[in-house]
Amino acid sequence: MLQRSRFTVDFTSEGSEYAAIGVDMKLVFIFVGAFLLYTAKVFSAEVNSATLRVLTYNIKGLPPLLAPGWGNDRFQVIAQKLSERLGKNNGPDVIVLQEVFTDAAAGVVPQSTYPFSAAGPSRDGTDSNGSFQKFYSGGLFILSRYPVLEAGNVHFVNGVCATWDCHSNKGIQFIKISIPGVKEKITVFNTHMQSGSSHDQVRIEQMDTLAKFVLANHKEDELLIFGGDFNTSPERPSFAVLKDTLKAYTAGEFCVANTSSCRLLNDSTSDDVIGKAIDHIFFKGTAKYSIVPLTTERNFKELFNDKTLSDHLGAEALFSIKKIKKPAPHKSHKASVPASKHGA
């Protein structure tokens, strides 16, 4: 004969069996419903928000003849700093590097221990006259914590350059990544545009290539990050052309204009991050996801052999990415809307 469990309902009184079961089932349904609602909210939070930390850094990896007094030991220091931060999980998720022209400078890429990377334009290029080869590559690399799903690059039109820049095959590159918590891909661009304050018109002409490349490789349902050494700041005409081309803000200008929600770190000033800056990180969201910077800073200020590690400081920003909540559907209350006294 089976014994009743201590959780068994007492059926001794008439009708109590159904009443007790009904009460217990209501409690079960309430508990299960609450649990499912909680897990749905947790899951929703996990797939609808994330942070992304981005660094752009021109490491001055020029040939010794063009960089007298700048040794190669500093590249190991740069790589070590990046590797240490990656190991502590507080480093950039994506790094866009410029002026990686020499073998010693290129050593930063593997020594940083970032698992994924992509290179920009090589020495070789083509134009309407056929193929050509420059003395140096475009000097661009992107490092990523996350797998590179797609990558590509393009050089600027041959001849749209000035001075020493004409010896390197400068241009633009991109990668696409996916990160946990965000369902849409992120397209990350990197560039190094014409140097020199007196060559602003060259930069404006290079933006024709930039505009076409971005249009061809960035989709509307992908978030956009565009970092690099643009060699332009707000007082130059090329900066206005750049902003109009990308239809995006820089992390620096956003933080300066929104001090209540975005902080300047590492003793960085408004001039450091936007006013006099030529290294920028542009950003743009999608119809479904917003992206805004939480912090921005200039870093790599440490001295090495009585100099900073490069003639540029790093420009870093931490971004918050969130799914845009759809507004609640509007309920029509016809009784509360007064009838129009006029015809339609």
Does position 103 have pLDDT exceeding 80, yes or no? yes
What pLDDT does 302 receive? 95
**Domains of the chain as residue ranges with CATH:** 50-323 (3.60.10.10)
pLDDT of 110 strictly over 50 = yes
Give the Cα separation of 300 and 57 in Å (integer): 9
Report the pLDDT value the prediction gives residue 24, as an integer from 0 to 100. Answer: 52
Answer with the residue of higher pLDDT: 212 or 8.
212
The three-state secondary structure class of 72 is coil
What tokens were used for 326? 């759809």
Cα 295 from Cα 252, distance rounded (Å): 9
Q: How many CB atoms lie within 10 A of CB 222?
A: 15
Mean pLDDT of 89-94: 96
Backbone φ/ψ region at 196: left (φ over 0), alpha (ψ -120 to 50), beta: left
Q: Which pLDDT does position 341 carry in this prediction? A: 37
Residue 330: the pLDDT is: 63
What does the chain come to in residues? 344
Six token digits for residue 84: 């240490």
- Is residue 272 within 8 A of residue 298, CB to CB? The reply is yes
Is the pLDDT assigned to residue 133 strictly greater than 80? yes
Per residue in 10-52, pLDDT tens?
434 444 444 444 445 544 443 444 444 434 444 444 568 999 9
Integer Cα distance of 221 and 245 in angstroms = 18
CA distance 303 to 281: 24
Cα-based angle 202, 247, 263 (whole degrees, multiple of 5): 105
86-96 average pLDDT score: 97
Sequence-distant (≥ 6) Cβ neighbours of residue 276 within 8 angstroms? 233
Taking residues 186-192, what's their average pLDDT? 98
